[in-house]
Structure 1
Amino acid sequence: MNNEDLKITDNEFLRQFETTINGELAVIEYSQQDRKIFLTKLRLPETAKDHQEDFIKAVLTEIVETRNTRVVPTSPEIASYIRRNRRKYKDLLPVGINI
């Protein structure tokens, strides 16, 4: 499975990005303020742990394609992913935010 296989849904009511992995719900919760989106919590079912990076990448792609906003990763897992892929996502971070 790669991130192209994941269908990301933005559940604006619950303020979370959702997808189904191995038949179970995976979620990244967010908070939107001004032109920043704070990715606050990653919840993955135990059976989907090996798809964590695919899910994070798919959500970041969704944000790039559908929103004119900056990303502030407050979830440790998401911050770590962006840190490891710094070159690709550096333009998503607000000015002055280093992770």
Structure 2
Amino acid sequence: MEDFEVKNNDFLRQFEATIKDEFVKLEYSEQEKKIFLSKFIIPESLKELDYDNSFLTKVFDYIKEKGRIKIVPTSKEVKKFFRANKTKYADLLPVGMSI
């Protein structure tokens, strides 16, 4: 699997990466110490190679590293990823929210 870097594009409010010459992005909005992960766009060819999980892992790890902010997954792909990795990222969910 090809290594890649995920960048936080503050101006466009999205996490983005170029993987195998394909553009991947996860749009977000921020409110009161919460980041709403809303629209995940990844080519099907990259999903088949499991790059969706790699990309989301890098995004979640980045957010966890920064601290002070909670994740609110609003897209179905991000919710699915969160459920599959609940134990690792449980502390990123706002108090009282369950997915």
Aligned length: 97
Bigger relative contact order, structure 1 or 2 (CA pairs below 8 A, ≥6 apart): 1
Partners of 2:68 and 2:95 lie apart in 1 by 15
TM-score, normalization: structure 1? 0.91
Q: Which residue of 1 aligns with 2:96?
A: 96
Q: Which residue of 2 aligns with 1:72?
A: 72
Partners of 2:8 and 2:60 lie apart in 1 by 12
TM-score, normalization: structure 2? 0.91
Contiguous gaps of at least 5 residues in structure 2: none
User: Deviation per CA, 1:5-45, whole angstroms, max 9, x where unpaired?
Assistant: 22111111110000111111100000000100000010002
Q: Which residue of 2 aligns with 1:11?
A: 9
Q: Which amino acid aligns with 1:89?
A: Y
% of aligned pairs identical? 45
Of 10-19 and 61-70, more deviation after overlay is shown by 61-70
Partners of 2:27 and 2:67 lie apart in 1 by 16
Is residue 18–residue 26 contact of structure 1 (8 Å, CA) maintained in 2?
yes
Contiguous gaps of at least 5 residues in structure 1: none
Q: Which amino acid aligns with 1:26?
A: V
Is residue 35–residue 68 contact of structure 1 (8 Å, CA) maintained in 2?
yes
Partners of 2:21 and 2:13 lie apart in 1 by 21
Give the C-alpha shift of residue 70 in structure 1: 0.3
RMSD (CA atoms): 1.3
1:34 to 29, 32, 53: 32
